[in-house]
Structures are given as structure tokens and as C-alpha cells.
Structure 1
Amino acid sequence: MGSLAPLSEEPISGEDGLSKRNYSFRSWLRKQLFQRKSNLKVLLSVMGCPLSPVSILPKQPRGVASSAEYIIQQFRATSGCGKMESTAVKSMYATGRVAMTEKHGPGAASSSSLGYGQEGSFVVWQMSPGMWLVDLKVSGFQIAAGSDGRVAWRRTPWLGAHAAKGGVRPLRRALQGLDPVTIAAVFSSAQHIGDKQIDEEDCFVLRLEAHASKLSEQSDSTVDVIEHVMFGCFSERSGLLVHLEDSQLMRIQSPGSHAMYWKTAISSWMKDYAPADGMMVARSGRSVVNLERFGVAGNKTLSLSTIMEENWRIDDVEFNVPGLTADFFIPPEEIKDLS
């Protein structure tokens, strides 16, 4: 994620000791994580607005030619988005609440106690094709991210505005049972790789993987994005998406330092599906992030784990929002020159 000039109205805490102009998002995050302290800024940076590994591809023929296409056809039918597609769903709006927790240490991955909690709220706006905006406020901090259909960006008080590498991709939060139309579009190119039980419910598993060219676009001189895959588990009983998991592996090596590998795995469970404007939407859920850093320095093996958890609840959701236009998704001034 390339660093751009900060917005003039954005404050930054002096305790970070960082210049927003001189540090990329990855440099800042690496410094914060290795301090091994609970840090709300890290929680928001990692969990606030991650993107899907893949972009939405052009619509494919509706013929049922594979098991994966059959699963998506079933999802379209049971979620209601199949019927809604004929009436052209163009936009979506949702508000909700979140609670976030974090734990560091070698035993983090096996611990059921996730430290302290922080509460907040969010609002999401979407408009096809490829436009979205999310605003998240937690314990006095506010971050925003968006896409105008040409460039995706993120803005935080501590690092200003940044353009996202890898092209325009859907907001992952929309895939967490919130927007069936986007879910169906993203998984339309997936592969069916088998079955799996999620909370004692039999599910079909669909797999998506970012293409090598997209991984290259997300890499830079110090960061090599090796892999980014996503799995969607669709209930064999209801046809709805009940579990979402994605995993990204990166190799990071700054000049004069040893290479470190970062693996970020996010698992989300969707609950409480209920109708909204004719479509089934997950009204609550939980996401767990397992962030691992490992590598070898001399004769020492280095390893550090961080577990982050978010519980969310949707308060309101509406499709085909009256009066919503593309002007609502205009990026910050720093990003406009890139679009």
C-alpha cells in the first residue's frame, strides 16, 4: 500500500514517532506489531476494512455447467439476489456495531481469552459498478476506506490517505453475508473443492485465488505477496454463505535485514440471516484474525503471533438507496490524481 501525502486535517499522535510522509502502511504496522502491545490502531488497521483477494469478474453465462456454478445458483435462489438481479440492485447501505479484542504472544493462537475489548460502529455504502465507502469509529478513533470504481483507498488519522495496491476489489465486510449480490458476483468464478462441516452444518466449499499478476501489483521492493486465497462455505441445507476464510502470505525483507514471512488468516462466521428488501442478510457474526510473523535470523528462529477478534451486529440495511450517486464516492484529494 503506497504512502501518499496526508490530509491536512488529520491529526497524528506524537507517540508513534513516525512521519506519515516517510513511512508506508506496512512499515508502520510492522513497527507497531513488534512492540507486542495491545494497540487499537493495529486492530483498526488490520480488521477495519480489508479487501477481497479478487475483483468482480464480468458476468458468466447462467447455465449450470459445474458444481460451483450450481452452488452459486442455489445461493442466488435462497438469498433472494437472483430475483433482485432482474430489478437491477444498484446500491446498498448498512449500519452496524462492532466489538474488537486482541492478544499477543506465542500462545495466542490457542488462547480463548482475547484480552481487552473496544466497541464502536460503522456505516457502509455501495454502488455498482465497484464503488463503495466504509466509515468505522471505535473508541474515539475513526478510519475510512473507499473506491470510486477506479482506485481503492484508505485513510487513518495516523497515516493519512493511501491508495490500495492490486486494483479495485470488493470490501470484505460486504462479503460477510451483508450483500448477496456482491457475494454471488465474487464467487461466480470460484472452484468447488469439496465439503466441510461448519458448526455441525454440512457445507460446500468454494475456493478463489488471486492471480499471479494481481499479487505482483500488490508487491513492492521490500514486500513480495506470495499467495492470497479465499474459501467460502455455503450451507448444503440453506444454500447461504455461513463461513468465509481468506489467507495471505507475504515475504518482507528490508535492505540489510533478514527476511520475515507474514501470514494473515481471517475467518468469519455469519449468523442470524433475516430478510431485508427481499434478500437474506446476515445480521450478526464474528471474525478472528490470526497474524503470524516468522523467519530465521542467524541461528535463531523468530516467531510471533497476534490474535484479533471482531464481533459485529447489523442494525439497518437497505438496497437501492434513493438519491445515492457516484459523487458520494469521490476519493480524498491525495487520491484523485491516481484515478
Structure 2
Amino acid sequence: MRTLWPNLAGDDGLETVLEVPIPDEMFAASSNSGKSWRAIRTWLKSPRPSLDYERRAVEIQFLLGVIGAPLLPLPLSCSHSLYDRNIKAHPIEKSMASYIVQQYVAASGGEHALNSIESMCAVGKVKMAAADLSSDIRKIKSMKKGAGELGGFVLWQKSPALWSLELMLSGFKISAGCDGNVAWRQTPWQHSRASRGPPRPLRRSLQGLDPRGTADLFSNSICTGEKTINGDDCFVLKLEAESSTLMARSSSNAEINRHTIWGYFSQKTGLLVQLEDSQSLRIKSAGKEIQWETKTESLIQDYRAIGGVNIAHGGRTTVSLSRFGGDDAESCSRSRMEEIWSIEEIDFNVKGLSTECFLPPAELRIEWGDDCDEDRFRCKVLDKYSRSCASRSGKKKVVAIDEQNDDHDHHL
């Protein structure tokens, strides 16, 4: 990853510090510095000649809105010991889950090492692709061959609930953060918005970057059995969001019915190998009810020891969004997107990282409008993306991704 940013006013401009890193792939076109800067300028400003720019912009907004900075449903306390001293007093499902979490803590580096981490900074890169129509699935299948939108991100985190993310994808940027009291997000196409309910953790940080937060998240889970993930036998821990939490995130015309999290912990290494969550949302609009189902699966890989703590340095996230209900078949659709991510640099206990570094934007809108919640925002960008795909084809289509393709994509 490069951490320099060109002066776009001219090819001979000075290099300045970049907020979000640029993938090295953007520098591979030419060894000549002038040509390299022109390649980056094209990446940031110009559409691909083979794609309609407006549709591509909508697709990138869709990717950033759904998979860029999602939140998990439960807040993290990080105030209690990672070890349950009273395992035998719990029901068997809870006792087994507590034991598995303790094994995970030990495999991650131990309680002392995890508690010694007060802050973290991670720099990574991503590749994303989306598919709305059945024919577009080939785009996701070909990500390994170079297809997809390239980007990079910087994540700052300070225990227990302070975090800040900046992610740029093909010239489009999303910023999100939490100051311990409110979680927010900001994009060029939408004003700064606060999320409903109590502040929640960033899902990206719990994909192998924050073992302390992961252990805290599953401290109240239950063990539901075993499952094989990529040839690795795993214990399955399940966690349901409480009704009070769901009500706090709901509004008069948008109700979250459920939000469930599963963690798959390797029986061999004790580490988290897959994080999965699923939620159901019902929206009332113009006298109609539309049901949304979201399923997110993150395969977590490439663990490496950093300062005595095992941190995942790569993985793949797949999101499936389904919409059904209403009076006509056009109200039903299904979309799928995928992200390949990797960590280039990570450091702990960053000096000078204070609470002022996590303050929300001054123009943050904290009123609870219909579109301020991230779940409703997802639905709006999906509607916009679906309309863009329909207009490109000349007519509306009912999206149906067959199960055979789903299974194939899942094992890529």
C-alpha cells in the first residue's frame, strides 16, 4: 500500500500525506512517476470506458453502504474479566460456550496480552464486487482474476468503544466512527447521520482484528453444536440480540425483528475462523410492508502473531440481501456482494491517540429521521442500485440467484 497522495492539479505536483492508502495495483501500470500519477487520477476521477459511469457510481455507493462499515447489534463493555470463574453454575450450552471463549482467549495470546492493548491502528486494502442480476454473478466469480473495485482503509480504535474508519473505494469514500456515545457515518452523497440505539462495535474490527472485543461479544453466547468450515472442524457459538436492543434501533415504520450472530471457532487452533450474522427488517411504506433479510458471512484467515497477539491478516466477506413482500412480483429481489480484504500494517498502543481523535463531525445530524439508521440506509441504496440495474436492461426484472451458484461462490 502506498501512503502518498498526488497533487491532482498537475503531474509534477508535490506529494502529500494521504488519509486513506492507495493499493499497490494502481502503481503497477508504469514505473514512470508521471504515468503512475495519471493512472491514479484515472482511478479516482474517471469511469471505466466499458461501464456506464452513473450505474458504476450507484454500484460503488451500494457496496460502501452495505459492506463498507456495518455495525454489530450488541454494544461491547470490555469491563469484566475474560475468564468466567463460575462455568459450572451455568446451563451446559452456556458453560460450553464459556469454555470455548476461554480457549479462544488463550489461542489469541492470553488475557494479559489482550488486556494490555489500549489502542490499535490497522491499514488494509479491499476488493469489492456486487451482483444484482443472475448474469452478473460472473463478476463476483472473476474477482480472483482481477475484477472488482479496489480500495483501501484505515481503522483506528481505542478501548472500549472508540473507533474511527475511513475507507476509499475507486475514488468514493465513506467515513464512520463512534465516540463512545453515538455511532455515525458520513458519505459524499449523504449528510452525517447517527445510528439508532446504543453505540455498537464496527463489524470489521471483530473480523480477527480485535480479539478482546470478540471474546467480550461471545461472553454471553451459547454453544449450538459443531460445523466444518473449509475442512476445519469448529464449535458454533450463537448470540441473539435482545428485544430491547432491537426496539431501540427500530422506528415507527421500520422494525427490526431479529439479529443473530454466529461464531465458528476452530477445534484445532481455538481461533475464530468465520463470523456470521443475519437480520430481518420490516418496513412500512405507503400502506405496504416490505421484508428485508440480510445475511453476512466473513471467512477469517491468515493469522499472524503481532506483539504476542494473533491477528487475522486476510479474509473474504459475502453479503446476501433479499427483499420480498408487497403486492407485485417486482417487490421481490435478491442481491449479492463480496469483499476480499487484507491487512497491510497493524500496530498497538498508538501514542497520542486521545478521545478527541474520535469526535463526530460538527454537522452530525442526530435527529431520528426515516433514513438515519444504517439498516434503512441499506434498503435505500439497494433500491437505488436495483433501479439502476433495471434501467440498464430496459425493464424491471425479478432477481433470482440460484442456490447452485450461491454454493459455488461461497467456496471460492
Q: By the TM > 0.5 criterion, same fold?
A: yes
- Distance, in Å, in 2 between the alignment partners of 1:180 and 1:278 is 12
- Distance, in Å, in 2 between the alignment partners of 1:37 and 1:119 is 13
Q: CA deviation at 1:111?
A: 9.1
The letter for the 2-side match of 1:143 is I
- Distance, in Å, in 2 between the alignment partners of 1:280 and 1:37 is 37
Equivalence for 2:282: 251
Equivalence for 1:59: 80
Equivalence for 1:291: 321
The letter for the 1-side match of 2:362 is E
Percent identity between the two aligned chains? 41
Whether 2:254 is the aligned partner of 1:223: answer yes
Equivalence for 1:137: 168
- Distance, in Å, in 2 between the alignment partners of 1:137 and 1:330 is 20
- Distance, in Å, in 2 between the alignment partners of 1:68 and 1:110 is 39
Using a 3 Å threshold, how does the CA distance of structure 1 residues 155 and 76 change in structure 2: closer, same or farther?
A: same
Counting only pairs closer than 5 Å after superposition, residues 44-193 of structure 1 correspond to structure 2 as 44-57=64-77, 58-59=79-80, 62-63=84-85, 65=87, 66-86=95-115, 88-105=116-133, 113=141, 117-193=148-224
Kept in 1, the 8 Å contact 2:140–2:148? The answer is: no
- Distance, in Å, in 1 between the alignment partners of 2:106 and 2:258 is 32
Q: Following TM superposition, where does structure 1 have runs of at least 4 consecutive aligned residues deviating by more than 4 angstroms?
A: 35-38, 106-112
The letter for the 2-side match of 1:154 is R
Q: CA deviation at 1:79?
A: 0.6
Q: CA deviation at 1:253?
A: 1.4
Equivalence for 2:336: 307
Kept in 1, the 8 Å contact 2:191–2:364? The answer is: no
Equivalence for 1:276: 306
The letter for the 2-side match of 1:59 is H
Kept in 1, the 8 Å contact 2:130–2:139? The answer is: no
Q: CA deviation at 1:75?
A: 0.5
Secondary structure of 1:205's aligned partner: strand
Question: Which structure dedicates a bigger proportion of its chain to strand?
Answer: 1
Question: Which structure dedicates a bigger proportion of its chain to helix?
Answer: 2
Secondary structure of 2:285's aligned partner: coil
Secondary structure of 1:178's aligned partner: coil
Kept in 1, the 8 Å contact 2:104–2:271? The answer is: yes
Q: CA deviation at 1:333?
A: 1.0
Kept in 1, the 8 Å contact 2:121–2:347? The answer is: yes
Q: CA deviation at 1:106?
A: 5.7
The letter for the 2-side match of 1:191 is I
Whether 2:376 is the aligned partner of 1:331: answer no
Kept in 2, the 8 Å contact 1:114–1:309? The answer is: no
Equivalence for 2:40: none
Kept in 1, the 8 Å contact 2:233–2:266? The answer is: yes
- Distance, in Å, in 2 between the alignment partners of 1:189 and 1:223 is 27
* CA deviations over 1:190-234 (Å, ceiling 9, x no partner): 111111110111101111111111111111122111111110000
- Distance, in Å, in 1 between the alignment partners of 2:351 and 2:57 is 44
The letter for the 1-side match of 2:126 is V
- Distance, in Å, in 1 between the alignment partners of 2:209 and 2:274 is 13
* CA deviations over 1:290-313 (Å, ceiling 9, x no partner): 011111406x47421111000001
Q: CA deviation at 1:322?
A: 1.4
Equivalence for 2:291: 261
Using a 3 Å threshold, how does the CA distance of structure 1 residues 123 and 97 change in structure 2: closer, same or farther?
A: same
In structure 1, the gaps of 5 or more residues are 1-34
Equivalence for 2:62: 42
Deviates further, 210-219 or 51-60: 51-60
Kept in 2, the 8 Å contact 1:108–1:306? The answer is: no
Whether 2:348 is the aligned partner of 1:319: answer yes
Secondary structure of 1:56's aligned partner: coil
Using a 3 Å threshold, how does the CA distance of structure 1 residues 263 and 106 change in structure 2: closer, same or farther?
A: farther
Kept in 2, the 8 Å contact 1:105–1:306? The answer is: yes
Secondary structure of 1:297's aligned partner: coil
Kept in 1, the 8 Å contact 2:193–2:366? The answer is: no
In structure 2, the gaps of 5 or more residues are 1-54, 88-94, 368-412
The letter for the 2-side match of 1:99 is K
Counting only pairs closer than 5 Å after superposition, residues 191-230 of structure 1 correspond to structure 2 as 191-230=222-261
Kept in 1, the 8 Å contact 2:114–2:211? The answer is: no
Bigger Rg over Cα: 2
Secondary structure of 1:177's aligned partner: coil
Larger RCO: 1 or 2 (CA < 8 Å, sep 6+): 1
- Aligned-residue CA RMSD (Å): 2.3
The letter for the 2-side match of 1:292 is S
Q: CA deviation at 1:255?
A: 2.8
* CA deviations over 1:69-107 (Å, ceiling 9, x no partner): 111100110111423145x32111100000000001368
- Distance, in Å, in 2 between the alignment partners of 1:113 and 1:279 is 33
